[in-house]
Structure 1
Amino acid sequence: MDTKNELLRMLRSIDHRGYPAYKSLKGSYDFGDYVLHIVHVQGDPFAAPSDLAVTVKAQDARWPQKACGRYETRVALQDMILRRLSLKLSSVSGKAGGSGKSGSMSASRPGQEILDRSACQLGEKGDVTLRFYAGFPAAGRTVLAGELEKMLFHFLPDIVRETAYAGAWQKETVQNVLNLAEDQAFLRQELDRLSLCAFVADGAILPRESGISQKPLADALPFRSPEKDRITLELPHYGTISGMAVKRGVTLIIGGGYHGKSTLLKALERGVYNHIAGDGREFVVTDESAVKIRAEDGRCVNGDDISMFINHLPNKKDTTAFFTENASGSTSQAASVVEAVECGSKTLLMDEDTCATNFMVRDALMQKIVSEEEEPITPFSDRMRALYEKSDISTILVAGSSGAFFSKADTIIQMDQYEPKDVTDKVRKIVPFQGKEGSFSVSVSPSQGRRFPRPGSDFKEQRGRIKHKNLGTDGFLIGHGETDLRLVEQLADKEQSECLAYTFLWLAKGEMNGRKNAAALVNDWERAFQKEGFGLYRENGRISGNMAKPRKEELAAAISRCRGLIWR
């Protein structure tokens, strides 16, 4: 390894040479208390900025080893460090001049969710790796060594020391982050112990700033649990907390338009992730396996057994292994349900507004006019009890126009001007609870997982690599094949989509061999990621600094929606 003095000498020696001379700087350099890695150098000043990384040894960084040894608290510390790193780099970006992207400095910028990101990684013993980007300066396409010297020798050392070292942080700030992470982890454990799907704390702020912002809405009405559903818990650090317990089973959320039904469901959707302090949803936690289900007209379906909901189609298609390149609302929603069940989801989240009506319910009059023999769809309303009673799969459903679900629900919450009210007893006086009646004549079991994918032609290497392109939370491209994730609504960050694309490339190298179903592939990935983390995606010694770990549920959704796979 070279020293920083050697880097400085090399840098000055290429001043005013052609831009490709920057590539000679690739390597690792000892700056005393940290090591700078110039991982990849951009081809010209108008190309994507260069990849840099900094590593700090555990004995120098001095982060609490106990916190680093536990995944939840380690990720919380990583998130804290990265937020400051991103702001610090942004504050000096552009202060070194030049053409194109010259002088730019940036790192991943987290949103409201706390995600495991490749841009900042803490080892279990406390070593730190920061990954970020810098535009190497040029005048036209001529090296400006003095400007890069300013970036690497004047700006960067201060930024590293203000972010990567525990001593640069107020102890109270660090402790608050760790306390919140431990409280959130405790709450998630309590869900299982208390047989809950979710918990929504009193005082939580659920409405968001806008449709394009996850920040809390100013002056929003704080959440207050109905008395009947309120429980009180004792968190390790926060202390006593109360809120609404959403029990396992079938829960309906009803109410008039614009009264907060979908707002509550959206909070539960994002409750699978932890949130930063001040978000308003810090103590809104949902079963980590919960999956939002909706209609997705036009999606591909690859061999799902949807016969639980749809059978004897007029075109004689086999619904026990259903394939289509252009699913209808009902077939797409049926496929999404069985895919979620196959991969182990125990909670289904639905909003009537985004569901296929004919998949969800058939009223009594329609059943009289169109006989059962003429209708291939068995609606979800006829299966929701059996899903819970036989497979322990709960449903939380927003319903605003149909009362067909009342008789099947364990709990009914009415949103009235953003205030939740438990109206279960009121409804029971009008509509009796049917419970198991009529539910158990139907065999309800998870998909047999008979779908075995292998990579198609889009996964062929070109010049030693498989091309991919991130489309943000809309999905990604592998070769020319698109994986459309626009309606996979719990994908929270474009960096999760980037990680999904890299995961597909990793699976294609060995795990995705036509002999494993989607659930097995997801489990393979989970085990490998737990062992190697983002090191799974190392390519020519380089790990991208713009990845965030997705949930296994979103990986399963991506596998099922990928048009570039061959299924049997």
Structure 2
Amino acid sequence: MQNSEVLRQQLHSIHRKSYPAYKGLKGAYRFENFILSIDHVQGDPFASPSHISIQISHRDSAFPSEYYKDVLTKTTLCDYLTRQFEQQVNRYTFRAKGSGKSGLISVSHCGQEILSRTACEITGRGITARFFIGFPANGRTINALELEKILFDYLPVCVQKAFFYSSTNKKELRNFMELALDQEYIRQELLRRKLTAFVADGSILPRESGISSRPMKNAIPFSAPESLRISMELPHKGTLTGMGIPQGITLIVGGGYHGKSTLLNALELGVYNHIPGDGREYVITDCTAVKLRSEDGRFIKDVDISLFINDLPNQKDTHCFSTQDASGSTSQAAGIVESMEAGSHLFLLDEDTSATNFMVRDAFMQQVIQREKEPITPFLERAGELYKKAGISTILVAGSSGAFFHIADTIIQMDNYVPRDITDSTKALCAKYPLPAFCAPAFTSPHSHRIMTKAPQDRLKTKVSKTDGFSLGRQEIDLRYTEQLIDPEQTATLSLLLKYAVENMINGKRTLSEIVEDLEKKLKKEGMSFLSGDRQISCGYALPRLQEIYACFNRYRRP
């Protein structure tokens, strides 16, 4: 490893040379209290910026060891450090001048949720931070003096203020870490108390706007109904009260604009830990929960949807159903079965984004269209069995059909963003409006034995479209309706996971579950580094949940 002064001399020697001379800087250099690595050099000042990383030993950074003792604390500390580093580099980005991306300094932008990212990683040796720098040039002529400013003046200040415990706001960091430990405690309590979710009193659920995930100012704080209020003694915060949603079937109802969808949205994002000040810090949902909806036109391959759809007029086998262009009902049926395969124990649904004919058939329709003429067994008739026989709970927002009141175990009415438990009063009404008896086919758990094949591909180049999806070669993977995919860096990771699987794991003999499970093991053992091949992994990737990995692979169009 070379000394930082060698780097300075190299910069002086290539000043005003042609841009490709920057390639000779690739390597590692020891600075006073960190190691700087130039991992990849951009081709010209208008190309994607250069990949840079720094390594700091635990001895030098001096963070307490309890702050990185396990996966939870490591992820939380890395998230905090990335946010601090971003604040620092934003003060210096583009201070160095030049053409194109010259002078850019950028790192991952973290949202309200805490994710495991390649931007910062903690190992037994220390902290590794990854980021991007636009190497300065005038036209395509190197301006090494401007890069010298970045590497020797700006960067050491940013590193010192972000990655050393002595420079940290210790109280703020401690609160950040303790919140994560309390959130994990609540997740364990959900399992112990047989709850699907918890929403703390005082939570702020509405967001600032449709394009902002920050909490809305002057919003009505959440207050649990007494019949559903529970209390927890958290390790750090102490006593916390709020609404516990039991396992089973829960219905969320209420007038338009009274907060039904706002509550459901908070619950679907409750699978992630949130940062202090978000308002939803103590909205905690079963970590396997999946938001489901209809997806007209989506690809389905070899899915057993016979639990919901059978006896199609064209004699198509619904025990191994495939289509290039699914209807609303078949897509929603497939989504449920695929989520069962992914190990989900909680389904989140909104009537507004569900296929009407998949959800319910009223008494009049059953009189007009006889059972033997209708291939769809509606979700209404399966929800209870999904819980009793498969252990899968449901939280459903309903606004038009009263049929779901009959099967619900818990009914929550949102009244001007205030929840009310109306289970008992509504059950009394149900007796006056009985449903016709269900005569659904016997419940049989779907059987998955789907062998993964791969589509013919030329060059497997990936291109990410925020959280909407990505292209792999000539194929587009549509993830627009995978609503718990919240960060473009998660989408980027999904693109690499699918690319890796297509190149190394899909051979026409292994099942989808076997492939995804092997990828999960590699992620746990190696992190995301194995996805970059021979190159160093760069900043710009965040870990998706297992459920989103399954969703991605299920939307990969293959023969």
User: 2:537 aligns to what?
Assistant: 543
Q: What is the identity, as a one-letter code, of the residue corresponding to 2:531?
A: Y
Alignment of 1:27-42 (within 5 A): 27-42=27-42
User: 1:343 aligns to what?
Assistant: 342
CA distance in 2, matches of 1:354, 1:505: 31
Q: What is the identity, as a one-letter code, of the residue corresponding to 2:337?
A: V
Aligned length: 557
User: 2:8 aligns to what?
Assistant: 8
User: 1:456 aligns to what?
Assistant: 455
Moved more, 168-177 or 380-389: 168-177
CA distance in 1, matches of 2:440, 2:410: 21
Q: What is the identity, as a one-letter code, of the residue corresponding to 1:17?
A: K
Superposed displacement of residue 316, structure 1 = 1.8
The DSSP-based 3-state class of the residue aligned with 1:59 is helix
The DSSP-based 3-state class of the residue aligned with 2:46 is coil
The DSSP-based 3-state class of the residue aligned with 1:349 is strand
> Is contact 1:305–1:321 with CA below 8 Å preserved after alignment?
yes
CA distance in 1, matches of 2:180, 2:115: 12
Alignment of 1:297-446 (within 5 A): 297-432=296-431, 442-445=442-445
Superposed displacement of residue 439, structure 1 = 7.9
CA distance in 1, matches of 2:9, 2:191: 59
User: 2:24 aligns to what?
Assistant: 24
> Is contact 1:386–1:444 with CA below 8 Å preserved after alignment?
no
CA distance in 1, matches of 2:199, 2:410: 15
> Is contact 1:390–1:444 with CA below 8 Å preserved after alignment?
no
User: 2:516 aligns to what?
Assistant: 522
The DSSP-based 3-state class of the residue aligned with 2:426 is helix
User: 2:46 aligns to what?
Assistant: 46
The DSSP-based 3-state class of the residue aligned with 2:298 is coil
User: 1:217 aligns to what?
Assistant: 216
> Is contact 1:391–1:444 with CA below 8 Å preserved after alignment?
no
Q: Following TM superposition, where does structure 1 have runs of at least 4 consecutive aligned residues deviating by more than 4 angstroms?
A: 432-435, 437-441
1:127 aligns with 2:121: no
1:160 aligns with 2:165: no
Superposed displacement of residue 510, structure 1 = 2.9
> Is contact 1:498–1:547 with CA below 8 Å preserved after alignment?
yes
Deviations 1:246-292 (A, max 9, x none): 10000000111111000000000000000000000000000000000
The DSSP-based 3-state class of the residue aligned with 2:39 is strand
CA distance in 2, matches of 1:23, 1:4: 17
Superposed displacement of residue 524, structure 1 = 1.3
Q: What is the identity, as a one-letter code, of the residue corresponding to 2:556?
A: C
> Is contact 1:51–1:131 with CA below 8 Å preserved after alignment?
yes
Moved more, 499-508 or 340-349: 499-508
Deviations 1:100-155 (A, max 9, x none): 111011000100000000001112x3611110001101111100011000000000
> Is contact 1:61–1:126 with CA below 8 Å preserved after alignment?
no
Superposed displacement of residue 562, structure 1 = 1.1
CA distance in 2, matches of 1:289, 1:517: 21
CA distance in 1, matches of 2:182, 2:440: 40
CA distance in 1, matches of 2:327, 2:79: 40
CA distance in 2, matches of 1:401, 1:218: 31
The DSSP-based 3-state class of the residue aligned with 1:487 is coil
How has the CA–CA distance of structure 1 residues 309 and 518 changed in structure 2, closer, same or farther, with 3 Å as cutoff?
same
> Is contact 1:386–1:439 with CA below 8 Å preserved after alignment?
no
1:184 aligns with 2:158: no
CA distance in 1, matches of 2:125, 2:554: 38
Q: What is the identity, as a one-letter code, of the residue corresponding to 1:260?
A: G
CA distance in 2, matches of 1:317, 1:50: 53
CA distance in 2, matches of 1:186, 1:517: 35
> Is contact 1:453–1:515 with CA below 8 Å preserved after alignment?
yes
CA distance in 2, matches of 1:163, 1:387: 48
Deviations 1:434-468 (A, max 9, x none): 99x858962231x321211132223x4x4xxx311
The DSSP-based 3-state class of the residue aligned with 2:349 is strand
Between the two proteins, what is the percent identity of the paired residues?
Answer: 49
> Is contact 1:473–1:497 with CA below 8 Å preserved after alignment?
yes
RMSD: 1.5
CA distance in 1, matches of 2:439, 2:507: 39
Q: Which runs of 5+ in 2 are unaligned?
A: none
CA distance in 2, matches of 1:235, 1:513: 48
CA distance in 2, matches of 1:346, 1:80: 30
Q: Which runs of 5+ in 1 are unaligned?
A: none
> Is contact 1:113–1:273 with CA below 8 Å preserved after alignment?
yes
User: 2:492 aligns to what?
Assistant: 498
CA distance in 2, matches of 1:91, 1:327: 49
Q: TM-score, normalised by structure 1?
A: 0.96
How has the CA–CA distance of structure 1 residues 212 and 385 changed in structure 2, closer, same or farther, with 3 Å as cutoff?
same
Q: What is the identity, as a one-letter code, of the residue corresponding to 2:534?
A: N
Deviations 1:477-510 (A, max 9, x none): 1101111000000001000000001111222233
Moved more, 208-217 or 58-67: 58-67
How has the CA–CA distance of structure 1 residues 227 and 439 changed in structure 2, closer, same or farther, with 3 Å as cutoff?
farther
The DSSP-based 3-state class of the residue aligned with 1:453 is coil
CA distance in 2, matches of 1:270, 1:202: 17
